[in-house]
Chains A and B, each alone.
Chain A
Amino acid sequence: MKIHEYQAKALLVQYGISVPKGKVAFSPSEAREIAAEIGNKAVIKAQVYGGGRGKAGGIKKVNNSEEAERAASQLIGTRLVTHQTGPEGVPVSKVLVEEASDVARELYLSILVDGTSRLPVMMASEAGGMEIEEVAQSAPEKIFKSYIDPAIGFQPFHSRKLAYGMNLDGGQIGEATRLMTNLYKLFIDKDCSLAEINPLVVTADEKLLALDAKLNFDDNALYRHKDIQELQDKEQEEPLEIQARDWGINNYVKMDGDIGCMVNGAGLAMAVNDLIQYCGGRAANFLDIGTLNNTERVVNSFKMFIADPRIKAVLVNIFGGMARVDVIAKGIVEAYQQMDIRFPVVVRLAGTNLEEGQRILAESEVSFIQAKDFYDGAHKVVEAAKGAMK
Chain B
Amino acid sequence: MSILVDEGTRLLVQGITGSEGSFHTQRCIEYGTKVVAGVTPGKGGSQYLGVPVFNTVEKAMAETGANASLMFVPPAFAADGILEAIDAGMSLVVCITEGIPVLDMVKVHRYLKGESTRLIGPNCPGIMSPGKCKAGIMVGEIHLPGSVGVVSRSGTLTYDVVSQLTSLGIGQSTCVGIGGDALPGSTFVDILELFESDQDTKAVVLIGEIGGTMEQEAAEFINHKMAKPVVAFIAGSTAPPGRRMGHAGAIITGSAGKASEKIKALSQAGAIIAPNPAEVGLTAKKVVESL
Contacts and interface: CB of A to CB of B under 8 A. Distances in A.
Interface in A291-330: 319-322
Contact of B237 (A50, A267, A277): A277
A150 B248 CA distance: 21
A268 B157 contact: yes
A218 interface: yes
A55 interface: no
Nearest to A192: B103
Nearest to A223: B76
A332 to B, nearest CB: 18
A374 interface: yes
Q: In the complex, which range does the number of interface residues on chain B fall in?
A: 35 or more
B245 A253 contact: yes
Contact of A115 (B152, B182, B238, B255): B182
Interface residues of A, number: 54
A356 B105 CA distance: 40
Given A151-B110, A375-B278, A221 B240 contact: no
Contact of B213 (A115, A319, A352): A115
B163 A350 contact: yes
Contacts of A263: 156
B156 A255 contact: no
A116 B180 CA distance: 15
Nearest to B233: A271
24 contacts: A113-B103, A113-B106, A113-B183, A115-B213, A149-B110, A220-B75, A220-B101, A223-B76, A265-B246, A267-B235, A269-B245, A270-B209, A270-B246, A274-B235, A278-B275, A319-B159, A319-B160, A321-B139, A321-B156, A350-B159, A374-B160, A374-B164, A375-B276, A378-B278
Given A113-B103, A253-B239, 14 more contacts: A113-B182, A115-B182, A120-B106, A133-B255, A224-B101, A253-B244, A267-B247, A268-B160, A275-B277, A275-B278, A319-B163, A321-B156, A351-B139, A374-B278
Interface of B: 20, 75-76, 99-107, 109-110, 125, 137-139, 142, 152-160, 163-164, 180, 182-183, 207, 209-210, 212-214, 217, 233, 235-240, 242-250, 254-255, 259, 275-279
